[in-house]
Structure 1
Amino acid sequence: MYMTVESKENMLMNYIMKNYLWQFNSRTWDRKAQNENIIGKMTQILCNEKIKMDTPADRCYWAEAKSLIDEWKCFPWLKKMNITDIKLMMSTLKKDLDTQLITQSLNKELTDPNY
């Protein structure tokens, strides 16, 4: 059975939504930072790129990314993907997380200036 990059990204999105809580921070800027940094570090790990670990936040994002990638061993097709497809898939995953969890969220706390 052939799987498209889109179908693979959907599987990863579902996995994150069902198994991780970091995407449910209560402020927009937190959600944006989490999505950008965790997905960014995951992409670097999957593509065997050098990972910036200069700050405690960098190390925290790396730990979340590493944990998730370790769990994604249940997706054997991930190891067989080329770097171009990995980057495309992860970029789409980040964009979809931003859309679903920020842009289209009905959570009013995300836009409350007093929170």
Structure 2
Amino acid sequence: MSTASAAAVVKQKVEAPVHPMDARIDELTDYIMKNCLWQFHSRSWDRERQNAEILKKTKELLCGEPVDLSTSHDRCYWVDAVCLADDYREHYPWINSMSKEEIGSLMQGLKDRMDYLTITGSLNEELSDKHY
């Protein structure tokens, strides 16, 4: 294989997102990475949807907002979100004193970080295998 074709095979490096609440996002990310099996779906589109829906519902719960439970998928994501929100309130009490806007920003930063770690920055080639 030539150097040019070998370089084409190498996955383009994606930079990790930067957020003003990085230290807190690190704590929440660490919790997910150690305690939540939902992060390990085998396809990137599953991971994208899972990250988006669970973290959106977690944010809604933390902010006391209504949560959409109209579909079976919504209810499935909600169960994980309830566990995550409860654990975050217990293990990271600083989250309880944050405003809704701060929680929204924090959770968006967390979603961006999880997307990076589990999808865009992942070296797992199975995530993009069209035959998998």
Fold in common (TM above 0.5): yes
Aligned length: 112
Q: SS state of the match for residue 53, structure 1?
A: coil
Distance 1:36 1:86 in 2: 15
Note the residue ranges of structure 2 that are not aligned, 5 or more in a row.
1-19
User: Per-residue deviation at 1:21?
Assistant: 1.2
Note the residue ranges of structure 1 that are not aligned, 5 or more in a row.
none
Distance 2:85 2:65 in 1: 14
Structure 2 partner of 1:51: 67
Runs (4+) of structure 1 exceeding 6 A deviation are: none
2:104 aligned with 1:87, yes or no?
Answer: yes
2:107 aligned with 1:62, yes or no?
Answer: no
Distance 2:116 2:55 in 1: 14
Identity of aligned residues (%): 43
2:20 aligned with 1:19, yes or no?
Answer: no
Q: SS state of the match for residue 106, structure 1?
A: coil
Distance 2:46 2:84 in 1: 19
The superposition leaves residues 37-57 of structure 1 with CA deviations (integer Å, 9 ceiling, x where unpaired) of 000000100111111100000
Aligned with 1:38 (options 54, 64, 70): 54
> Is 1:53–1:59's contact at 8 Å kept on the other side of the alignment?
yes
User: Per-residue deviation at 1:10?
Assistant: 1.1
Give the RMSD, CA atoms, in angstroms.
1.0
> Is 1:42–1:69's contact at 8 Å kept on the other side of the alignment?
yes
Q: SS state of the match for residue 123, structure 2?
A: coil
What residue identity is the alignment partner of 1:45? L
Structure 1 partner of 2:44: 28
User: What is the TM-score when the length of structure 1 is the normalising length?
Assistant: 0.93
User: Per-residue deviation at 1:76?
Assistant: 0.9
